[in-house]
Amino acid sequence: MKIILIGIQGAGKSTQGNLLAEKLKIPYLSTGHIFRNLAKEKTKLGRYIKEIMNAGYLIPDRKTLIIVSDYLKRSEYQMGYILDGFPRTVPQAKLFRNGVDKVVYLKVSDKEALWRLSYRNGETREDETLAALRNRIELFHKLTEPVLEFYRKKKILVEIDGEQKIEQINKDILRRVKKNP
């Protein structure tokens, strides 16, 4: 099964992605993790990605598509995956050729997302300044919300109330992704 998780930063995508990976026995892949690892590299691409992320912007569509597509060619993703943080724009969604069974949208208010991010176990990352977070939230509404409509029209979008308890969100996702379309 190939699942995409979409939600504003702080919606709980990585929490749910890890729980789903364990229960569905398919690997979880976060584009944020990929990009943070690349940003640590002392390369031209690494510096470029670090600058973009620290400013709260998105990596350009073409670069993102190439990086994600290359990762998904790895053998561990051939039987399925749970992908978090991609696609973030309609062009990415249209050009993504890897086949998707379900797209899970974890719906969380901006206020709730900011609150959650502010109280993460004290592990603030370099790319999580208040200005960068606000910019990402604005970009989510502007660029990623139209992706939801793209998948809604394909009849593979599953909307989940992301402000419930973690266990309930997980139950709702499992119930909805296991249903036939």
Query: What CATH number is given to the structural domain containing 134?
Result: 3.40.50.300
Q: Helix H segments across the chain?
A: 13-24, 31-40, 44-54, 61-72, 90-95, 110-118, 130-139, 145-153, 166-177
Q: What's the mean pLDDT in 45-52?
A: 92
- Which residue segment(s) compose the domain that 153 sits in? 2-177
Residue whose token pair is 């606000």: 134
Q: How many CB atoms lie within 10 A of CB 101?
A: 12
Q: Is residue 123 pLDDT above 70, yes or no?
A: no
Q: Which two tokens stand for residue 97?
A: 């050729």
Q: How many CB atoms lie within 10 A of CB 75?
A: 6
Q: What's the mean pLDDT in 67-86?
A: 91
CA 150, chain centre distance (Å): 16
Q: Tell me which amino acid residue 60 is.
A: P
Give the integer Cα–Cα distance in Å for 96 and 168.
30
Torsion of CA 17, 34, 131, 129, to 10 degrees: 90
Residue range 1-18, pLDDT digits in tens: 999 999 998 899 999 999
Residue range 29-43, pLDDT digits in tens: 998 888 988 899 999
Give the number of domains in the chain.
Answer: 1
pLDDT score for 3? 97
What is the rounded average pLDDT for all residues in the chain? 89
pLDDT score for 120? 65
Going from the C-alpha of 13 to that of each of 30, 41, 75, the distances in angstroms are: 9, 25, 23
Q: Which two tokens stand for residue 128?
A: 């999580």
More confident of the two residues 17 and 57 = 17
pLDDT score for 124? 59
What percent of the chain lies above the pLDDT cut of 90? 62
Residue range 141-160, pLDDT digits in tens: 999 999 999 999 999 999 99
Under the banding of pLDDT at 50, 70 and 90, the label for residue 54 is confident
pTM for the structure as a whole: 0.85
pLDDT score for 96? 92
Q: Which residues pair with 20 in a beta bridge?
A: none
Pick from 42, 29, 91: which is nearest to 63 by CA? 91
Q: What's the mean pLDDT in 83-104?
A: 92
Give the integer Cα–Cα distance in Å for 11 and 102.
18
Q: Tell me which amino acid residue 141 is.
A: H
Give the integer Cα–Cα distance in Å for 36 and 45.
12
